[in-house]
Structure 1
Amino acid sequence: MNKITIVGLGPGDIDLISRGAMEALKNSKRAVLRTKEHPVVEKLIEEGVEFDSLDRYYETECSFEKVYSSIAEHIVSMAKEGVVYAVPGHPRVAENTVSLIEKLAGEKGIGLEIIPSMSFVDAMFNALGFDPSDGFVLLDALSFKSREVSSDKAVIITQVYSKFVASETKLKLMEYYDDDQGIYVVGHAGIKGSESIVSMPLCELDHYKGFDHLTSVYVPRGSSKKFKDVYELEDIMDKLRSKDGCPWDIKQTHQSIKKCLIEEAYELADAIENDDVEGMIEELGDVLLQVVFHSQIGKEEGLFNLDEVADSICKKLIYRHPHVFGEDKYEEATFMKKWEDMKKAEKGEETVAEGLIRIPRHLPALIRAHKAQTKAAYVGFDWKEIEDVYKKVQEEYKEVVDAHAAGDIQYIQEELGDLLFSVVNLSRFLKVDPEESLNITTEKFIRRFQFVEIEAAKMGKNIQDMTLEEMDMLWEAAKKVLG
């Protein structure tokens, strides 16, 4: 026979199981139920339907994913002699095993027939009195993520069968909705005499007492969200750039706001340096605004949009991490070399110099020098010992002195650049960030100079009228006090 017939048992009332599904079960010599935890099972027994149930997989397997795959494999293994597989509700609605069986059956050339019954979702539409054409999101409590919910649509969450699952569901929903958001717990939807609908605030979901396998949660459309998301930021930016928007935002271009991103990035770096969490939230928002701003301009020009920006970075991250998303395995020590090789292939570069040229000229000079040296070092163009680096620093320092003695301004600039470049090389060998090191020293200079100025004022002196020797005495005092 080599055939699988999948039937729906309906939401739980015997009147809601289809005639075709019931006939298939009655006439089957090999009927299998995913679970016998369903109200119509008692009626099937009364009708003389003989069946096996697969509840045992829920007890022996370590995860729901494994339960579903094991059930699918079991049903497909029975196909040779024909099997009728029964699932709660409608086979096409929130039934993972059916999707897995369909895939396996297709691969093995096994015939498949699906006989539907009324879905529990249909029963919920009726019980709650809402029109599904207004839009709704159907989620599985065992696997959904908070970002999948939507305040623009009603949300139905299935399989909230225990207090533990309810607690996990509550925590996920509270990442998105306000804690006191009104929800409905729906039990036994469509089953005469036992259907129940209980309203409560979201924060009390796991206080409900009647959880079982026929319990679902309903969140009404238009519910209040805890946070605005990036898509709302995109809508705000679209409004600001519209004909009724802000005149300043409307006239901006990629060129006019390019410096804003750099400024916001530095303000974020400052917040991170100061361990300012609130500042980080604000500055990260400002950086995100710049991304959305450029994406909005790109969309208006018909060149790109935010989705394409996100798609680009997602693909890049997956491509550049084959040890995470693929089968490649290599040690951390070789990772950066692999990373550079992938970037070269990605950019279509055939030479190392092409990669050096690609380093943005707008980067701070110390960072750009460090990046250039690092890229060259990956192919072996580097000093072998740090002693050689020290010698190079000394050599370049002497050349600066000689250039100054010669009085050649252009020569001085060139030799001073060589000296700075060799110091960056030294920082790389010492595994110290040159940009951060210089910033630390600059901050230290500012603190000490402030000390000098304050102490001079205490002495009744204006720092501008002091001699270098007097200021130097206060400077030494600042070093002792401030370090």
Structure 2
Amino acid sequence: MPASGKYQYLIRRGVCSSVWQANGECMEFQLKKRYDFDDLLALMAFLRSENGCPWDRAQTHASVRSNFLEETYEAVEALDENDPVHLCEELGDVLLQVVFHARMEEETGRFGMLDVVDGLCRKLVERHPHVFGQRGATTPEQALQSWDEVKKRARGQQTQADALESVSHALPAAMRSAKVWRKATKNEPAPPKTADLLAEAHKGLDKLAQALAQSSTEQTARLSIAHATGFALFSLCTFASSVGVEAEQALTDACDAYIRTYTVEENRVPGAASPSQAALAALREQEPVLQARPDGFQ
């Protein structure tokens, strides 16, 4: 049944892909027991249309930027929980953000979701010359090196500093620090010694203590302490990376453990003056616990 009158809405292919009757009015999206990707695109187009949702229609890239971050973190949390049902839901929420932003661009005529998919497929083919071309790669390390080399050429990166600068500034700081460090040391003949990196971390803490003792004015103190803190944290991230530890994940685990420890301390001594410091001291003495992953979700 073709859409007509004020309900007419043409999606990318030039026709309304699905129409149904409700209360005698012609609608532009058909309810189903199971939907596919084309349905998702049609639904997003309808929600952004004149007859769709006022909130969806009013959104811009900037207004839902934080939603994209939030949904991504929730998907990562579902991964950490080893919960396939939750993960399926959260991946859908991330996909919604992709489709939402692509739809906004399609309305401007710059690009649409099909262009996103086309570009992604082309990139995957280009970044796998060991699969689709003549270059060989028999190990994961060789395949990753091939990927990185194609990526650098595609982005016009001439120096290693260009590669460092290309690391997204929007990444969480600990994650970005580790990635910058890995790129900085990737092509060096010998990796930095772990003991030297740990020593740098200690120097960073010493520098922080000096900043606390020497700063004369409030503004100078804030700048000196911020600089020293940043160096100490970056040094710890480089050390963690050198021993195969993800600093971002380690800090996340420590935060979770602190909350659990704080809860214990608060319940152990109700009304205590400073459970926060007691919890921190208790956390320092805790032994790490290996978390087993459920079968079938590795």
- Deviation of 1:232 after TM superposition, in Å, equals 0.4
**What is the distance in 1 between the residues matched to 2:135 and 2:208?**
48
1:252 to 53, 59, 68: 59
Contact 1:366–1:434 (CA<8 Å) still a contact in 2? yes
Question: For residues 238-286 of structure 1, what are the alpha-carbon distances to aligned partners after superposition, in whole Å with 9 as ceiling and x for unaligned?
Answer: 0100001111000111111121111000011111111122211111110
2:110 to 286, 297, 303: 303
Question: For residues 359-411 of structure 1, what are the alpha-carbon distances to aligned partners after superposition, in whole Å with 9 as ceiling and x for unaligned?
Answer: 22211101111111112122329753212212211222211111111123211
Which residue is equivalent to 1:206? none
**What is the distance in 1 between the residues matched to 2:276 and 2:69?**
40
Contact 1:448–1:479 (CA<8 Å) still a contact in 2? no
Residues 478 and 410 of structure 1: is their aligned pair in 2 closer, same or farther, counting only changes over 3 Å? closer
Which residue is equivalent to 1:417? 230
2:146 to 317, 329, 338: 338
Contact 2:194–2:242 (CA<8 Å) still a contact in 1? yes
2:72 to 265, 268, 272: 265
Contact 1:452–1:474 (CA<8 Å) still a contact in 2? no
Contact 2:262–2:279 (CA<8 Å) still a contact in 1? no
Which residue is equivalent to 1:472? 278
- Deviation of 1:432 after TM superposition, in Å, equals 0.9
Which residue is equivalent to 1:449? 262
Residues 239 and 325 of structure 1: is their aligned pair in 2 closer, same or farther, counting only changes over 3 Å? same
- Deviation of 1:225 after TM superposition, in Å, equals 7.3
Residues 391 and 480 of structure 1: is their aligned pair in 2 closer, same or farther, counting only changes over 3 Å? closer
Which residue is equivalent to 2:196? 388
**What is the distance in 2 between the residues matched to 1:384 and 1:326?**
35
Which residue is equivalent to 1:124? none
- Deviation of 1:472 after TM superposition, in Å, equals 3.2
The letter for the 2-side match of 1:248 is: W
Contact 1:452–1:471 (CA<8 Å) still a contact in 2? no
2:121 to 281, 306, 314: 314
Which residue is equivalent to 2:44? 237
**What is the distance in 2 between the residues matched to 1:431 and 1:482?**
16
The letter for the 1-side match of 2:235 is: S
| SS of corresponding position for 2:110 | coil
The letter for the 1-side match of 2:183 is: K
Tell me the C-alpha RMSD between the 2 structures: 2.8
**What is the distance in 2 between the residues matched to 1:245 and 1:225?**
18
Which residues of structure 1 form unaligned runs of 5+?
Answer: 1-151, 153-223
- Deviation of 1:231 after TM superposition, in Å, equals 1.1
**What is the distance in 2 between the residues matched to 1:476 and 1:467?**
16
The letter for the 2-side match of 1:472 is: A
Question: For residues 183-239 of structure 1, what are the alpha-carbon distances to aligned partners after superposition, in whole Å with 9 as ceiling and x for unaligned?
Answer: xxxxxxxxxxxxxxxxxxxxxxxxxxxxxxxxxxxxxxxxx9763111101111101
The letter for the 1-side match of 2:130 is: H
| SS of corresponding position for 1:256 | coil
**What is the distance in 2 between the residues matched to 1:251 and 1:345?**
39
Contact 2:211–2:224 (CA<8 Å) still a contact in 1? yes
The letter for the 2-side match of 1:293 is: F
Residues 471 and 233 of structure 1: is their aligned pair in 2 closer, same or farther, counting only changes over 3 Å? same
Residues 218-229 of structure 1 correspond to what in structure 2 (within 5 A)? Answer: 227-229=34-36
Which residue is equivalent to 1:398? 206
Contact 1:261–1:287 (CA<8 Å) still a contact in 2? yes
Give me the TM-score of the superposition, normalised by structure 1.
Answer: 0.49
**What is the distance in 1 between the residues matched to 2:171 and 2:63?**
18
Contact 1:337–1:378 (CA<8 Å) still a contact in 2? no
Which residue is equivalent to 1:132? none
Contact 2:204–2:228 (CA<8 Å) still a contact in 1? yes
Question: Higher helix proportion, which one?
Answer: 2
Residues 416 and 471 of structure 1: is their aligned pair in 2 closer, same or farther, counting only changes over 3 Å? closer
Contact 2:261–2:282 (CA<8 Å) still a contact in 1? no
Residues 286 and 474 of structure 1: is their aligned pair in 2 closer, same or farther, counting only changes over 3 Å? closer
Residues 370 and 309 of structure 1: is their aligned pair in 2 closer, same or farther, counting only changes over 3 Å? same
Contact 2:74–2:90 (CA<8 Å) still a contact in 1? yes
Which residues of structure 2 form unaligned runs of 5+?
Answer: 1-16, 18-30, 216-220, 290-298
Residues 480 and 379 of structure 1: is their aligned pair in 2 closer, same or farther, counting only changes over 3 Å? closer
The letter for the 1-side match of 2:266 is: E
2:186 to 364, 378, 393: 378
**What is the distance in 2 between the residues matched to 1:247 and 1:429?**
51
Residues 241 and 397 of structure 1: is their aligned pair in 2 closer, same or farther, counting only changes over 3 Å? same
Contact 1:452–1:478 (CA<8 Å) still a contact in 2? no
- Percent of pairs with identical residues: 31
**What is the distance in 2 between the residues matched to 1:248 and 1:470?**
42
Contact 1:452–1:475 (CA<8 Å) still a contact in 2? no
Residues 346 and 467 of structure 1: is their aligned pair in 2 closer, same or farther, counting only changes over 3 Å? same
